[in-house]
Chain A
């Protein structure tokens, strides 16, 4: 088995601040994802990456940057934190290629902007 580790677990930022969330996986998966979880809205895709140095925008990419530095790590940057923003950011990974492939998730980084 493997694990997805997200750091930090809790992140408090100030309005306008640039914030970076980190994710590591030891599944040796090719594809990694960042999702945003808001209450009542399900999980929405921000960015994904099918291999090292690849980046693909999801439906919610505006206001975010991402970086896939190596196969095992995927970072997400909130470019300018919005006041009163509260959400959980979930990192995930999967094997490449097939639609019925299981996606594995981390426990999330909980962001609060004051």
Chain B
């Protein structure tokens, strides 16, 4: 079945360093990929999304490129800030009709001063 894998459960970085959060997916259908961010005690919110192969999408300093050849949609930022500390979810919907969002297990990013 369709699935999303996030390999890092916890990532801790110092402010100003670059970050990459991994996301790979499995599906036999045409995919839509999303990154959602959830700050402490807040609702998850959409960060960025894509369905276009090899096209970089950006929002709030974060960027990701969907690579269908490797089934990946890694999230990156060139310089993390303290306010980026949050839980990040990669998610997938597929063009099989029901449009359910399938989430990865999430990566907790903690940025230290």
Contacts and interface: CB of A to CB of B under 8 A. Distances in A.
B89 A108 contact: no
A106 B43 contact: yes
A99 B93 contact: yes
Contacts, number: 52
Greatest chain B CB density within 10 A among A33, A44, A100, A101 is at: A100
Main secondary structure of the interface of B (DSSP, over half): loop
A107 B43 contact: yes
Contacts of B51: 99-100
B85 to A, nearest CB: 16
A114 interface: no
B19 interface: no
Place the interface of chain A in its size category: 20 to 34
Contact of B94 (A4, A99, A101, A102): A99
B105 A100 contact: no
A8 interface: no
B54 interface: no
The 6 closest A-B CB pairs, nearest first, are A105-B43, A42-B103, A99-B93, A42-B105, A43-B103, A99-B32
